[in-house]
Amino acid sequence: MTTSNLLSPLTLPNGIELKNRIIMAPMTNWSSNADGTVTEEEVKYYARRSSGVSMVVTACTNVTANGKGFHGEFAGDRDEMIPSLRKIANAIKEQGAKAVLQIFHGGRLCPPELVPNNEIVSASNIPAEGSTNIPRALTETEVDEIIEAFGETTRRAIEAGYDGVEIHGANGYLIQQFFSPHANRREDRFGGSLENRMTFPLAIVDKVKSVVNEYADSSFIIGYRFSPEERETPGITMGDTLTLVDALADKGLTYLHVSLNQFFSTAKRGVEDSSKTRIEYLLKTINNRVPLIGVGGIQTAEDARKALDTGVSLVALGRELIIDPDWVQKVAEGKENDIVTTLHKEQQQQLVIPDPLWNIIINTPGWFPIA
């Protein structure tokens, strides 16, 4: 595949054209103010990475006060946050990329000190594996309120000028907790069978779509991110996920986004052939109904080409765009051999990386390749 394919435009199902096939993956940066407003460092960090890629998916923002999953996370749970949210949308759009706000609720993974009354909530009162924090099971009324809250944060994203939202159903957070037989032991309409465990994720999709129909137009992007499998027993299997993805592919979404550590990883459970990659299974199930974004360990232009060759519509870069914000420009200029794949300790200022994010990168062995 030639470079022009990486740089070829893509028209999304809603008619919006992305200028190339490379997007910035959503990544936590721990760099917002304690009150949930964004910092100038954070705004500059996004601006620095938004001129080459076609679309930027932000770090996750919480839809309710009890959904805050990280220290230094920017909030979207109340209207006072709209001016703050607008700063990041503007910073991304001014550089020529589409700005997509990732919306989520942390559920049982929220640090107790970040949520009201230190009370973490989930589908059931089952702690995450390896955690001693026991969540309280949400009542049916509270579940309905959280579904509404995803809609309200979508309205705020529209008012703040975002081009879209990404519903964060991945990485073990609340939406995934409802889908998971590990986290969800409910016996009401939200739990039990695989079909019932899909009720909450699909209700959020429907709510977000209804809000977009009311407050925006068809050009507003609605994405959904999911994790394919869980390690826990019982846990989500690849087979479970294919059932969910099949339903999501009929929902009129703008894209689906699989969360993977390694793009070419193979399926582990719930499928007949464990030698096939998760991407292969997903593409077969989706069957061209909706674009799929792939991600995971893609560093070089050659990596990205191999990924696109599988049939995914878009490739997301995460850590690699922190290491080299000019990745896309280098490909465009025929300088892909100049792409940097190792972080250099003296380049924080040059790379416009906020202190909180930088400190975590430097102090987390094995997370980033560091020279």
Tell me how far the alpha carbon of residue 239 is from its chain's centroid.
21
Tell me what pLDDT residue 2 has: 66
Where are the chain's structural domains?
3-341
Tell me what pLDDT residue 133 has: 97
* Exposure on the CB side of residue 206, measured as CA atoms within 13 A: 9
Give the integer Cα–Cα distance in Å for 80 and 215. Answer: 18
| pLDDT of 161 higher than 60 | yes
Contacts of 320 (CB under 8 A, 6+ apart): 298, 299, 327, 341
- Mean pLDDT for 55-59 is 99
Tell me what pLDDT residue 135 has: 98
Contacts of 41 (CB under 8 A, 6+ apart): 31, 352, 354, 355
pLDDT in tens, 239-282: 999 999 999 999 999 999 999 999 999 999 999 999 999 999 99
Q: What percent of the chain shows pLDDT beyond 90?
A: 98
| pLDDT of 1 higher than 80 | no
Q: Which residue has the higher pLDDT, 274 or 136?
A: 136
Q: Amino acid identity of 328?
A: V
| pLDDT of 59 higher than 90 | yes
- Mean pLDDT for 129-139 is 97
Beta partners for residue 122, in sequence order: 137
pLDDT in tens, 6-41: 999 999 999 999 999 999 999 999 999 999 999 999
Backbone phi, then psi, for 39, in 5-degree steps?
-100, 160
Contacts of 214 (CB under 8 A, 6+ apart): none
Task: Annotate 168-218 with DSSP letters as a single string.
Answer: EE-TTSHHHHHH-TTT----STTSSSHHHHTHHHHHHHHHHHHHHHHHS-T
- Mean pLDDT for 316-335 is 98
Give the integer Cα–Cα distance in Å for 205 and 201. Answer: 6
Q: Provide the annotated active-site residues.
A: 173
Tell me what pLDDT residue 3 has: 73
Give the pLDDT band of residue 4 (cuts 50, 70, 90).
confident
CATH tag for 3-341 (out of 3.30.360.10, 3.40.50.2300, 3.40.50.620, 3.20.20.70)? 3.20.20.70
State the SS3 of 236-301.
CCHHHHHHHHHHHCCCCCCEEEECCCCCCCECCCCCCCCCCEHHHHHHHHHCCCCCEEEECCCCCH
